[in-house]
Structure 1
Amino acid sequence: MEDRESRNEDNSQKEFADDYEWMETEEVEESTSDPFGLHLNEKLNHIFGGKIVRKDLTKKIKEGANVPVYVLEYLLGMYCATTEEEAIAEGVKNVKKILAENFVRPDEAQKIISKLRERGTYTVIDKVSVKLNYKEDRYEAEFSNLGIKSVPISEQYPTKFERLLSGGIWCIVQLEYFYDEGDKTRVPFIISKLTPIQMPNLDMGEVVEGRRRFSKEEWIDVMLRSIGMEPSRFSLRVKMLLLARMIPLVENNFNLCELGPRGTGKSHVYKEISPNSILVSGGQTTVANLFYNMSSKTVGLVGMWDCVAFDEVAGITFKDKDGIQIMKDYMASGSFSRGKEEKNASASMVFVGNINQSVDVLLKTSHLFDPFPDAMAYDSAFFDRMHCYIPGWEIPKYRPDFFTNEYGFITDYLSEFLRELRKTSYSDALDQYFKLGNNLNQRDVIAVRKMVSGLIKLIYPHGVFGKEEVEEILRFALESRRRVKEQLKKIGGMEFYDVNFSYIDNLDFSEEYVPVPEQGGGKLIPEGLHKPGQVYTVGRGKSGMLGVFKLETEMVTGSGKFERTGIGSDREAKEALDTAYRYLKANGKNISGTISTTSKDYLMHLQDLNGIGITSQLSLAAYIGLCSAALNKPVIGSLAVLGNLSISGSVIKVEDLANNLQVCLDSGAKKILIPMSSAMDMPSVPPELMSRFSLIFYQTPEDAVFKALGVE
């Protein structure tokens, strides 16, 4: 009985080995049927027969096997490339059997090694990495799950498949076992055949011609189903965000960032879908590993992979002091210098991580790059290299029904034609119809062009698209880059003031501005008249950031008391408000004889609208608020008050005027009350920014009150 079972297992091994040899040479005949009008699944089968798989099969088997999707679908493509239910059922049975017998689970490694010793030969599926043992001048392989290393391997494999030398790739390997009594130091494992889990060949013409038979909507759905998603559960907006995750796989040297809540599949594409990308978990790496190892003279991950993704950006650390600087150079130019040489590489860089608080809170208290480590969090030069920021908070958390049960491309086929698309570029596609606005600098233009090129390759790989299609993609690209620029403005100030991205139609020269949704339409300084005593001012908070502060003042019958709330125990803010009240007591009659500080009480509340910490630059705005409440007269609408008041009653000019005005613009102010002493700083303000306001100059505190209240 045992001999019979052993023979059956040996036969299964032989059949599997024969099958994967067949996969290297067999051509699948392309259907010539016209699929127009057919259901999408049938259409796919007609046009891409043999290149598709039912994704629920992947899902069902994946749940019980900790194996990358592209490995699993390689096998499903061998045994389940059909629409016949009986054949699919038999194929699934074979795949499960192969995974049970050949896929190496770490806890069963010794069991498989034992079988290899007993039989003399065994076919395994494992992740294999190779390194050069330069002391003995030979290449040696290490099997990740099997746990064996220093296995001699022919130099033809690392020469042909360079990624074996950097991180390793999943392979089907025929192993032999030979123990040499005469040389007990010799490793007894022999690699007789190694085949990477990837398509043996790709006809790009087949992809191009096949795409012509699908509408835009159908093709987007096919692409999303190919990565396991069910497009019918998502809006067009979310579909575009999911597609944007794939741009680094089709575009060379594309730098992408996605931060958002947990459970939205941020790293899924880079870990599971493509054998051409690698996910650096935890974020810790070295310059030698990522770029170039000077001792072994070998290029690192960026030279071996199409895409290098960093999971959990908060943990990104380099053991080398110059690591971040080298990364910045590479992200900007696609090259890096090590030793005497400059090396070029085309790998895209992806940074994914979690945002642990709501976007609204993060926008008010910090910036959207805040989850990055301290070494990067306020490095504007590093973030300026980001071509795209995907708003991960807009992608819903994955539920079971978000994963498709329909047909999509075998992920290996998908990844291969995505890789082939890296050789083409559509970065000039927008020039036929549009020009970019003058607020985009050179880095902005490069980022937008790369994004447009990447999305066109994903949606229109056949190169057929018109003005409307380009405009839709261009708006998305401008928004994605502007999201980066908006955060740079918060980090780096006026150096990045030009965030109003636009594009101009070549025909009618109309200019369209593209907003960023999370910046919102709810302005901090609303239009229209406010209640008497309500004033808005801009100041620098305890965090060092500029923000908007709202002062609300009420006057009631009393005995001359002044109460302050909203400032906590901040001594400087308390002194600033007290300065305003003392000045009112001493000079209120200069405003109006009806103002009383003996028979009235004043209650003032301060609100930090951006959550940046209380400011001490409050005295002039507080003085205007006190007068407004005392006279029961509101300040003019959409007004922001700049400037400060000293203890002696002198007006203090605005420090960092340009940045203060930029905050006023972002907050919705249309009129700015500004001290005359700040006029000398006007040349530092960009003309485009200056033109957005009605500037109202004042010379004295009394002049400021009259102009704020609209009194001539």
Structure 2
Amino acid sequence: MTGGDIFAKIKRVFGDYAVDKKLLQEAVVSKLPGFVAEYLMTEFSLQYPSDWMNRLREFVKKHYFEASEKEYVKHLLVEEKRIKIIDELRIWVDLETGEHRAIIPSIGENDVRVPADIARSHPNTMITGMWGLIELEYSPETARTDQKGELLENPVMVVDFQPFQSPTSDPGILKEARREFSFEEWLDVLINTVGYNHNAYPTTERKLALLSRLLPLVEENVHLVEFGPRATGKTFIFRNASRYTRIIVGGMISPAALFYNLRSGIPGEIAVRDAVVFDEISRVRFPNPDEIVAKLKDFMESGHYERGKQKVTSGCSIVMLGNVEVEERGGVYVPVEDFTYILPQPMRDSALIDRIHGVVPGWILPKIRQASYHLSQGYGIALDYFSEAMHVMRKESLAGEVGRYLELSGAVSIRDEKAVRRMMSAFLKLLFPNLEFDKKELRVVVDFVVNMRQRVRDWLHRLSPGEFPREQMRYVIH
């Protein structure tokens, strides 16, 4: 099926839930996360059908600011007293005062005052945070002061919030639509949905490698690493396809930020996110590595951890992304660097690596050089809906269902079986949401998933050959 044919079919089957992804390459809109840009595109096209793109362009120019413009945004706030900004609103509760406070990245403040009714109306702002249009007021005269008249609380206050969120999150739309597409067509639908051009990924293996980045977003506690050359778009999906992820780019990471802040009582990122992504994992640093690595190992095994008196259970997936040196052999790229040394020193531990479910072969994916070729040139499913649908799909695992179709054999550990079942559960939700497939289609996916886990086993063998003998995983499809 040609590009034009698949785009026409997507538009016909999905109707209002189909979005022209090429519009996302518009310079102003491309600055926003994909799910935010697509929500705004849909809203503006409905409100202003004849002139929506110009209106949207002006709206984004007026209300969206880059991180480097933080001081300018604060200047505007002081000068104009009230401004509206496009940003993520995350609210926390001060238990000492019983009041609500907000984290506003655009102005670099984490204790902005918030009326309780805004928090009450938008509970997700207190769970994962929500993107929207935030109206801020600079009013030091309404903030508490001490006897000398000095401020005791932030002079900035949130006075209104309009969230950007799909009106529906029903995965049933995907189930119904899936019947209209063949397996190969559905792969292309998903690839365009997350913003890529399916023609740039001509083999099924490359398409599955690309889509495996979505596994942590549709299944709880799926822990992956992806190693590949630079510029293959390793963070693109996580940044654009879900508002429930947090990307941590290198640098120092504290236990408070990751697990739980004992002083403020604010849960860390692992407690509230669908996925925490460590980009450029080799540059990650920990102030007290023993504590963090021990907690990571505990969490990746059991789905819970403790810090102080706090016990936390979470479905968060851990994803580690790293750059690897490759060379061309027989027309394909292969890694020529030991994976172990891409990890920071404290994480070079076989017990931690064994808890990784699979290695995504990022080295088989092309570098993203030209938007006109590597990025989508037509229609896909609206990301604001797709993001919410993936989030809902996480609530029910199909790992038990996998056992009906697939049996691993050979020297397979409990961790091997758990890893394969979770990754297969995620792929079933993505590729066969109505659970309709034939053995040939299933075998293609199982082969890919088993190889993802096999790479972990081979890695462990290189690291500790005595403890992890070199053995090939086998399977039977019923």
Please tell me the TM-score bracket, short chain as reference: 0.7 to 0.9
Do the aligned partners of residues 162 and 497 (structure 1) sit closer, same or farther apart at CA in structure 2, a change above 3 Å counting?
A: farther
Which residue pairs with 2:303 in the alignment? 334
Among 223, 230, 247, the residue aligned to 1:279: 247
Among 369, 372, 386, the residue aligned to 2:340: 369
Letter in 2 for 1:307: A
The reply to whether residue 73 of structure 1 matches residue 38 of structure 2 is yes
Which residue pairs with 2:213 in the alignment? 245
Question: Quick one: distance in 2 between partners of 1:166 and 1:284?
Answer: 24
The reply to whether residue 484 of structure 1 matches residue 450 of structure 2 is no
Q: How does 1:392-411 map to 2 (within 5 A)?
A: 392-400=362-370, 401-411=373-383
Do the aligned partners of residues 395 and 119 (structure 1) sit closer, same or farther apart at CA in structure 2, a change above 3 Å counting?
A: same
Q: Residues 161-213 of structure 1, C-alpha deviation per residue, up to 9 Å, x if partnerless?
A: 56645885432113345563997737554422213332233233223212222
Question: Quick one: distance in 1 between partners of 2:205 and 2:10?
Answer: 24
Letter in 2 for 1:145: S
Question: Quick one: distance in 2 between partners of 1:364 and 1:352?
Answer: 14
Q: How does 1:183-582 map to 2 (within 5 A)?
A: 185=151, 189-234=156-201, 235-320=203-288, 321-356=290-325, 358=327, 367-377=338-348, 379-400=349-370, 401-497=373-469, 499-506=471-478
Which residue pairs with 1:48 in the alignment? 14
Do the aligned partners of residues 386 and 359 (structure 1) sit closer, same or farther apart at CA in structure 2, a change above 3 Å counting?
A: farther
Letter in 2 for 1:198: Q
Question: Quick one: distance in 2 between partners of 1:162 and 1:298?
Answer: 15
CA contact 1:166–1:300 (8 Å) conserved in 2 = no
Report the TM-score when normalising by structure 2.
0.87
CA contact 1:166–1:301 (8 Å) conserved in 2 = no
- Identical columns (%): 29
Question: Quick one: distance in 1 between partners of 2:378 and 2:46?
Answer: 13
User: For structure 1, which segment, 304-313 or 108-117, has the greater mean C-alpha deviation from structure 2 after superposition?
Assistant: 108-117
Q: Residues 369-398 of structure 1, C-alpha deviation per residue, up to 9 Å, x if partnerless?
A: 321112222x11110001110111111111
Which residue pairs with 1:510 in the alignment? none
Question: Quick one: distance in 1 between partners of 2:80 and 2:419?
Answer: 57
Question: Quick one: distance in 1 between partners of 2:218 and 2:191?
Answer: 15
Do the aligned partners of residues 157 and 464 (structure 1) sit closer, same or farther apart at CA in structure 2, a change above 3 Å counting?
A: farther
CA contact 1:126–1:171 (8 Å) conserved in 2 = yes
Which residue pairs with 1:19 in the alignment? none
The reply to whether residue 101 of structure 1 matches residue 66 of structure 2 is no
SS of match in other structure, 2:360: strand
How far off is 1:325 after superposition? 0.9
Question: Quick one: distance in 1 between partners of 2:308 and 2:140?
Answer: 44
SS of match in other structure, 2:434: coil
CA contact 2:283–2:344 (8 Å) conserved in 1 = yes
Which residue pairs with 1:143 in the alignment? 104
Question: Quick one: distance in 2 between partners of 1:299 and 1:147?
Answer: 19
SS of match in other structure, 1:282: strand
How far off is 1:409 after superposition? 1.9
Do the aligned partners of residues 150 and 442 (structure 1) sit closer, same or farther apart at CA in structure 2, a change above 3 Å counting?
A: closer
Letter in 1 for 2:91: V
Do the aligned partners of residues 417 and 136 (structure 1) sit closer, same or farther apart at CA in structure 2, a change above 3 Å counting?
A: same
Letter in 2 for 1:374: Q
How far off is 1:135 after superposition? 5.1
Question: Quick one: distance in 2 between partners of 1:220 and 1:181?
Answer: 55
How far off is 1:138 after superposition? 2.0
How far off is 1:41 after superposition? 2.6
Letter in 2 for 1:435: E
SS of match in other structure, 1:313: strand
CA contact 1:162–1:304 (8 Å) conserved in 2 = no
Question: Quick one: distance in 1 between partners of 2:21 and 2:287?
Answer: 41
Which residue pairs with 2:51 in the alignment? 90
Report the TM-score when normalising by structure 1.
0.60
Question: Quick one: distance in 2 between partners of 1:258 and 1:191?
Answer: 39
Question: Quick one: distance in 1 between partners of 2:161 and 2:242?
Answer: 19
How far off is 1:323 after superposition? 0.9
Do the aligned partners of residues 231 and 357 (structure 1) sit closer, same or farther apart at CA in structure 2, a change above 3 Å counting?
A: closer
Letter in 2 for 1:173: I
How far off is 1:148 after superposition? 5.3
Q: How does 1:106-145 map to 2 (within 5 A)?
A: 106=67, 121-134=82-95, 136-145=97-106
Structure 2: unaligned runs, 5 residues or longer = none
Question: Quick one: distance in 1 between partners of 2:291 and 2:138?
Answer: 46
User: For structure 1, which segment, 430-439 or 304-313, has the greater mean C-alpha deviation from structure 2 after superposition?
Assistant: 430-439
Letter in 2 for 1:79: F
How far off is 1:430 after superposition? 4.1
Do the aligned partners of residues 109 and 368 (structure 1) sit closer, same or farther apart at CA in structure 2, a change above 3 Å counting?
A: closer
How far off is 1:411 after superposition? 1.6
Q: Residues 230-262 of structure 1, C-alpha deviation per residue, up to 9 Å, x if partnerless?
A: 002212211010011110000100000001110
Q: Residues 569-616 of structure 1, C-alpha deviation per residue, up to 9 Å, x if partnerless?
A: xxxxxxxxxxxxxxxxxxxxxxxxxxxxxxxxxxxxxxxxxxxxxxxx
Question: Quick one: distance in 1 between partners of 2:160 and 2:336?
Answer: 58
User: For structure 1, which segment, 174-183 or 95-104, has the greater mean C-alpha deviation from structure 2 after superposition?
Assistant: 174-183
Among 93, 103, 116, the residue aligned to 1:155: 116
Structure number with bigger Rg: 1
Structure 1: unaligned runs, 5 residues or longer = 1-37, 507-712
